[in-house]
Amino acid sequence: MIEIKNLTKIYKLNKKQMKESKTKSSRKVAVDDVSLRAKKGEIYGLLGPNGAGKTTTLRCIATILKPTKGEIYVSGHEVQEEPEEVRKKIGFLTSDIKLDPQFTTDYLFDFFGRLHNVPEENLKRRKEELFEYFEIKDFAHKQIKELSTGMKQKAAIAVSLVHDPEVVIFDEPTNGLDIITARNVTDYLRKLRDEGKLVIVSTHIMSEAEKLCDRIGIIIDGTKVAEGTLEELLQQTNAQDLEDAFFEFYKLRRE
C-alpha cells in the first residue's frame, strides 16, 4: 500500500526561475497538502494538466525528492525514515532518469539486477520474460544512444522492473510512444495489477486514465480536487466522460 498523508512540496526558486515564472516569490508550492491511499491490486492514476504536481508527488514517493511537509508510507515504510527499504519495494520510471547512453540494455539490466541483489537464476528468467514481452531481444546489445524513443522507453521499463517490485510507479509511461507500444505498456501494467501489484501512474491523457486506472485522483495546481472510480467521478459531476468531468472539477477549482 501507498499512503500519502498531507504531502506538501515547496521548491525554492532561483532568480532565473523567478524571472521565467514571472513571479516575485522565491517559493513555488508544487504540491499542497495532498493525501491519498493506493492499494495492492489496483492501478491508481494521478490525472492533471501540465505543472499540476504529478511528477513531484511521484518523485517524493520514490525517495528522489524530500517532502517539505507530510508523510509517505510505502508498504509500511516511511520514505524519509527508511528510504532504502522503500527503494527495494518500488520500480520507478520517469522521463528525467535516463539510461546511460554508452551501455546496452542487456548490460544495464544485469547491472541494476545485481545492484538489487537479484539472484543470477532469477535475473536470467526476468530478462527472458521482460525482453520477450517488450520485444527487446533484437536491440538488447545495441548502445542506448542508438535506440529510438520507443526502444529507450521499453528498455527503461524493463530495467525498472528487474527486481520484480511490489509497487510500480510510472510517470507518464506512454509519453512519446506509438499506439502499439503504448498498448503494450498499458497491457503490462494491467498484468502487474492482476498479479496483485500496486501500480501508480501519472497521466494527462484522459482516455488513458479512463481505460487503464481503477481509481483516479485529479490534481490541479498542486491540490487533489477529486478522487474515485471513473463511475464515481462521472456521478459527482453528471458528466458523460472523464474529459467533461475533469472540466467540471477544473471550473470549480478556478471559481
Ligand X SMILES: Nc1ncnc2c1ncn2[C@@H]1O[C@H](COP(=O)(O)OP(=O)(O)OP(=O)(O)O)[C@@H](O)[C@H]1O
Q: What residues line the site for ligand X (CB under 6 A)?
A: 11, 13, 17, 28, 30, 48, 50-56, 204
Q: Taking the complex as a whole, how short is the minimal distance between the CB of residue 52 and ligand X, in angstroms? A: 4
Select 93 or 136, whichever has its Cβ closest to ligand X: 93
**Residue partners of 240: CB distance under 8 A and separation at least 6:** 234
What is the identity of the amino acid at 116? H
Residue with cell 547512453: 101
Q: How far is the CB of 208 from ligand X (least distance, A)?
A: 13
Which of 123, 209 has the CB closer to ligand X? 209
Q: Could you tell me how many residues make up the chain?
A: 255
Distances (CA, A) of 34 to 7, 93, 173, 255: 5, 21, 22, 20
Using the minimum distance from each CB to ligand X, give the nearer residue, 60 or 162: 60
Three-point CA angle 2, 169, 102, nearest 5°: 150
For residue 133, the SS3 value is helix
Q: Report strand pairing: 90-93 vs 167-171.
A: parallel
Which lies closer to ligand X via its Cβ, residue 4 or residue 118?
4
